[in-house]
Structure 1
Amino acid sequence: MTTIHDAKILDITKVHDTRGNLSVVEGNAIPFEMKRVYYLYDIPSGGRRGGHSHINCQELLVALSGSFDVILNDGSEQKTVTLNKPNQGLLIPNGIWRELENFSSGSVCLVLASEVFIEEDYIRNFEEFRLSKNRIS
């Protein structure tokens, strides 16, 4: 069973140049094959995203611009991770509830996902999530 301790910050390769930095995700930089890429932006002040868990999907979240907080919950413990560097990503394994909040103005959250969108992979009710974690343990 996954816990919040399985979520971790991954360093993304950063190539520094006098013209600016370049970061790249390729090869085995992340522990899954990317099947979907999407990004969140223009989040209104006080807005929140996430509010779900995945049954199978793993994700890597990257703050391409600005910053935001990711609140992780495994049904027993909770922790908050602030993302604010475009050369670091938060790896979130399946089975972890996530909420995103405190978006700075102009922030952009890139998400690399291990699965294509399948609604049945989402648990969107926190109480159902907690019950599913209790059945597994």
Structure 2
Amino acid sequence: MSLIKLIEFDVLGDERGQLVVLEAMKNVPFEIKRVYYLTGTKAGVPRGFHAHKELVQVAVCVSGKCLMIMDDGVKKEKVWMSSPSQGVLIDRMMWHEMHEFSADCVLLVIASELYDENDYIRSYADFVGMINNE
């Protein structure tokens, strides 16, 4: 089973341009409580390097591209994010990293919960230990 869970969003539009709609409990599989985005990421500076105990997210690269690495504590998989009509589901207890951001990258993230520092697992060793104890 693949660690990468892609969500394809319908692209609507006409000669004026395109429209992509993200809707809670429809094409986003949870109630949306928080939205944030990464932009202006410096060359060679990766982001992420954590997992969440309960939080579920969908990441969408609305402009540019970046490399997403998903890691369940046993195996790792990579996917290039470069389409505003495709999202990557970041499930609970999934270590994730983002690398190789293009200069024009805007990475939008939709979250199932409000920010809670206690939900973060920031040590990879702690993450693997928690996975092995589940």
Q: How many residues align?
A: 133
The CA RMSD measured in Å over matched residues stands at 1.1
- Asked if 2 retains the 8 angstrom alpha-carbon contact of 1:13 and 1:25, the reply is no
Structure 1 residue 104: deviation in Å?
0.7
Task: Give the Cα–Cα distance (whole angstroms) in 2 for the partners of residues 14 and 91 of structure 1.
Answer: 18
Task: Give the Cα–Cα distance (whole angstroms) in 2 for the partners of residues 102 and 7 of structure 1.
Answer: 18
Runs of 4+ in 1 over 6 A off after TM superposition: none
- Give the partner amino acid of 2:90: I
- Give the partner amino acid of 1:44: K
Structure 1 residue 6: deviation in Å?
5.1
Pairs within 5 Å for 1:14-93: 14-27=11-24, 28-93=26-91
- Asked if 1 retains the 8 angstrom alpha-carbon contact of 2:62 and 2:83, the reply is yes
- Asked if 2 retains the 8 angstrom alpha-carbon contact of 1:7 and 1:93, the reply is no
Task: Give the Cα–Cα distance (whole angstroms) in 1 for the partners of residues 124 and 62 of structure 2.
Answer: 28
Task: Give the Cα–Cα distance (whole angstroms) in 1 for the partners of residues 45 and 13 of structure 2.
Answer: 33
- The residue matched to 2:128 in structure 1 has which SS? helix
Task: Give the Cα–Cα distance (whole angstroms) in 2 for the partners of residues 58 and 99 of structure 1.
Answer: 15
Q: If the length of structure 2 is used for normalisation, what is the TM-score? A: 0.95
Structure 1 residue 135: deviation in Å?
0.5
Matched residues, percent identical? Answer: 38
Task: Give the Cα–Cα distance (whole angstroms) in 2 for the partners of residues 29 and 88 of structure 1.
Answer: 11
Unmatched 5+ stretches in structure 1: none
Structure 1 residue 16: deviation in Å?
2.4
Task: Give the Cα–Cα distance (whole angstroms) in 2 for the partners of residues 6 and 80 of structure 1.
Answer: 9
